[in-house]
Amino acid sequence: MSSSADAPPTDAVGESLATGTDTTSRKTNNPSDTNAKSTRYASYNFAYLDEQTKRMIRRAILKAVAVPGYQVPFASRDMPLPYGWGTGGIQVTAACIGPDDVLKVIDQGSDDTTNAISIRAFFQRTTNVRVTERTTEATIIQTRHRIPETPLTEGQIFVYQVPIPEPLRWLEPRETESRRMHALADYGVMHVKLYEDIARFGRISTSYDYPVLVNERYVMAPSPTPKFDNPKMDNCPALQLFGAGREKRIYAIPPYTKVVPRFRRSSLEVQRWDDVCAPCGAEDGYLDEVVIVDKGGRCSPVQTRTTARRDAPRTSRAGTGRRARSVSTRRGGRDLMAWDDELPLLTVDGLSKNFGRTIAVDDVSFELWPGEVLAVVGESGSGKTTLLNGLGAGLPVDAGRVHYRKRSGEEVEITTLDEPARRLLTRTEWGFVHQNPRDGLRLGVSAGANIGERLMAVGARHYGKIRGEALAWMARVEIDRSRIDDRPATFSGGMQQRLQIARNLVTRPALMFMDEPTGGLDVSVQARLLDLLRQLVTELSLSVIIVTHDLAVARLLSHRMMVMQRGRVVELGLTDQILDDPQHAYSQLLVSSILQG
Amino acid sequence: MTHGKDDETTAAVRLEGIKKGFTLHLQGGASIPVFDGIEFEVDPGECVVLTGASGVGKSTLMKLIYGNYRALGGRVLIDHGGQMIDLVKANPRTIMSIRQRTLGYVSQFLRCVPRVPARDVVAEPLLTLGVSRRQARERADALLTRLNIPERLLNLPPATFSGGEQQRVNIARGFVHAYPILLLDEPTASLDADNRAIVVDLMAEAKARGTAMIGIFHDTDVRDQIADRRIALETARAAA
């Protein structure tokens, strides 16, 4: 091993890495060790792993130290014990340990459990190092869950065994997306977990593996360390290393690094009031914020009091209602010729996208105005979904420009917009409804959390208000309010689709992208959805680009229609013009193929 | 009839040299001419009735005036808030604006989102104009009641209604907003005498308000009561 190439960044690592593999020069400072044992295991390399593996792991460790909290992938080896018993920690320890080290192993705060004893024995036999039960004596401490009460000191290495290194794992199933979220520090979704806790237990119940923010950059899962041990990680003089064997990740907290809980205590609060209900004197419920003019004070309506914190105060809709109203007034007050003065919301200019030699979208241009619904129709493979993804889902395009006018009036160019800004836009001003609701929902968290996610992502922190909004939207999309704490996995396809729509609409987007939203639905649910969408388009001045196969849906919902064939727009015009008087041969074929009901 | 100067601002609708035909790409590009060179105008408060044998293109002409069909040549000028706008050349948004505020259309068949109650179907044109939901519903209810739709039906979707009831919902939808121009495609076709009389009253009131109307009525009774002028379409086609 070349020591100049792998220069250890800390004394602790340096101390243990600067060792050879010469087992004969090992100090036999453990009195319990016998010659019989060392000869028995002499065929193993020092610390079990071969030197190339150690080198690979040390490289991962160095990278992890250089980027605190970042999960470094490594080629985890098979160890002589099953995954879940500390294989990650053992590999990290084996890569760091030298003959002069003193090892301590803790499991669940104890040195005497089977796991702790067997890991200790493993290293005794393969390295012959001294072992101890005293924190102060140890140079390397491997742990599962607990951090010792005795303060760690400089020069010590503290190795955690980690089962699940990814703090976003239960929220975001896609590994690629999780990594992108880390890269962009896009951690709004973490609040969803807190919401779930409160919804289920009435408080933040996460008591272990409580996410922390390392060096003000990466959110890190501190393995199943109890929440009350987390403060010991902050500004710790020892080097802390985390090894996840099954998940093949190593990450680290270098000495004296800032580690704070990801959430302040108040970051998602269940608000309580000190005063009582003015008219009835109730103390045990939510207080509505509706001021009673003649008496003063606040009231707790019966339904919110009896259901305590499970249900939301009615105030939650006040803020957003006001916004919705002002939108509709503006629309209603629009004078006759104002149409001509208004600027388009979205301007697409020469958009093209190829997949290799296949042209998916070829030079598509159109404009979309506020409050307008544009249907995109065409046969399978005509590029409809690619177009939609290129506009609304960040799919890189090969040519063309897409200008979007934000609520603030500022115009942005979507294809060159940087990813964090694009994500913010998709969360605040846009919505995307996928054909398969499973692509657009978080199936692992409740319906309420699914609706609340976007609110929390844009800064909502009041639990009651989030829940109130969620309930209001569930009612709007006709999902039984009692299902708010159920996971969408238990919903029918139609309910999932409606939930997906509610989840998108909760932040009142200006622009919705919809990919066959009524595709797999039975006709009664489809009718409900169509009605809902039409209402929202009128009331919220929502603009929609909807991809659909169903020309009847397009006729009822859309103002304009775009017919696509082989990636090109063959006809674009008023929906009824195209359906009643199609000009292009392909449009005529499409219209003539409608089944007469 | 010679019109073409913009200083003649009295007409609400003016057609100039309208040419229409269909090209059927699926039948090897067969071309079906419908008419060529249609010219007439309708003043505010006037009701013009299109006559002619079945299949002569009366509904086609109505759809042309509504901007539903695209003319191959000529101009369809609509007085939209004091401006004469050519529907043939207008962009889709202008057409939408014209339909929202100026141009009403009562078709032969009702087409609406399933499951939406009749009162909301009727109220919808008002909602898009910015009228509050409550007000829009009140006006819809009043109009439907006048058209003898029983109150118990107001909250039901029209799909369950009889043909005559659906037709009356359709008429209510056309009359709920006082469009300056109304196109009526056989609105009284499936109505009994009483209801027909009510519709005739509605049309007379609209005329008195200054609404320009273009209609197709097979019912000679209604035609005689309401028509100020008749335009026979076969002559228009023969002239082409």
Give the confidence band of A278 by pLDDT, cuts at 50, 70, 90.
low
Residue with tokens 């006809």: A571
Listed in sequence order, the residues at least 6 apart from A510 whose beta carbon sits closer than 8 Å to its beta carbon are A345, A370, A407, A429, A430, A541, A542, A543
B26 and A CB contact within 8 Å: yes
**Within a 10 A sphere around the Cβ of A282, how many other Cβ atoms?**
18
Secondary element (H or E) of residue A218: strand A218-220
Q: A153, A12 in Cβ contact below 8 A?
A: no
B93 touches chain A (CB under 8 A): yes
B128 contacts in chain A (CB < 8 Å) = 538
Quick one: average pLDDT of A539-566? 89
pLDDT digits (tens, 9 = 90+) for A436-454: 888 889 988 899 999 999 8
Compute CA distances A264 → A213, A268, B92, whole Å.
11, 8, 53
Instruction: Report phi then psi at A509, rounded to 5.
Output: -65, 160
Cβ burial of A158 (10 Å; 0-12, 13-18, 19+) is buried
Residues in B touching A333 (Cβ below 8 Å)? 130
Are the Cβ atoms of A531 and B115 closer than 8 angstroms?
yes
Residue B106 main-chain phi, psi, to 5 deg = -105, 110
Verify whether the Cβ–Cβ distance B128 to A538 is below 8 Å. Answer: yes
Residue B31, beta-bridge partner list = B23
Cβ pair A339:B63 closer than 8 A: no
pLDDT digits (tens, 9 = 90+) for A286-331: 444 444 444 444 444 333 333 333 333 333 333 333 333 333 333 3
Q: Which residues of chain B have pLDDT under 70?
A: 1-9, 234-240
Nearest to A577 among B70, B83, B97 (CB): B70
Residues 6+ apart with CB under 8 A from B16: B3, B4, B39, B74, B75, B76, B77
Give the residue-averaged pLDDT of A156-185.
90
CB of A597 less than 8 A from some CB of B: no
pLDDT > 60? residue A428 = yes
- Range with lowest mean pLDDT among A59-68, A201-210, B66-75: A201-210
- Which residue in chain A has the smallest CA separation from B133? A539
CB-based contact, B32 to chain A, within 8 Å: no
pLDDT in tens, B180-212: 999 999 888 888 889 999 999 999 999 999 999
Token representation of residue A294: 């003649």
Is B26's CB within 8 Å of A585's CB? yes
| pLDDT confidence of residue A300 | 41
Closest CB to A577 among B68, B111, B113: B68
Distance CA B73, CA B38 (A): 10
Residues contacting residue A593 through CB under 8 Å, at least 6 positions apart: none
In this prediction, residue A242 carries a pLDDT of 96
The minimum CA-CA distance between A545 and chain B, rounded to whole Å, is 16
Query: Number of residue pairs across A and B with CB atoms under 8 Å?
Result: 74
* Cα–Cα nearest to A567, from A366, A375, A352: A352
Average pLDDT, chain A: 80
The two tokens of residue B211 are: 């609404």
Tokens representing residue A253 in the block: 């907290």
CA distance A213 to chain B (A): 49
Residue-level length of chain B: 240
Residue with structure tokens 């005795």?
A150
The pLDDT tens digits for A372-402 are 999 999 888 889 999 999 998 888 899 999 9
- DSSP, collapsed to helix, strand or coil, labels residue A260 as strand
Residue A491, φ and ψ in degrees, nearest 5: -90, 155
pLDDT tens digits for range A486-531: 999 999 888 898 899 899 988 889 999 999 888 767 777 788 788 8
* Contact B25/A at CB under 8 A: yes
The alpha carbons of chain A give a radius of gyration, in whole angstroms, of 30
CB A569 within 8 A of CB A367: no
Q: What are phi and psi of A375, to 5 degrees?
A: -95, 135
CA distance B110 to B167: 7
Q: Regarding beta strands B73-80 and A346-355, do their DSSP bridges make them parallel or antiparallel, or are they unpaired? A: unpaired
B3 CB burial (10 A radius; 0-12, 13-18, 19+): middle
Structure tokens given for A297: 């004070």
The neighbouring-strand residues paired with A107 are A110, A144
Q: Look at residue A267 and give its three-state secondary structure.
A: coil
- Write the pLDDT tens digit of every residue in A227-274: 888 889 999 999 999 999 999 999 999 999 999 877 654 455 544 445
Closest CA to A74 of A243, A271, A201: A243
pLDDT at A276: 57
Q: Can you give the pLDDT at residue A203?
A: 65
On whether the CB atoms of residues B97 and B122 are closer than 8 A, the answer is no
For B124, other C-beta atoms within 10 Å of its C-beta total 20
Q: Is the ipTM of this structure higher than 0.90?
A: no
| CB of B115 less than 8 A from some CB of A | yes
The band of A349, judged by pLDDT with boundaries at 50, 70 and 90, is very high
How many helices and strands, by DSSP H and E, does chain B display?
8, 9
> Which of B67, B81, B131 shows the shortest C-beta gap to A337?
B81
The whole-angstrom separation of Cα A188 and Cα A206 is: 17
Q: Mean pLDDT across the stretch A468-483?
A: 90
With b for 16 or more beta-carbon neighbours within 10 A and e for fewer, the A423-451 pattern comes to bbbbbbbbbbbbbebeebbbebbbbbbbb
pTM here is 0.76
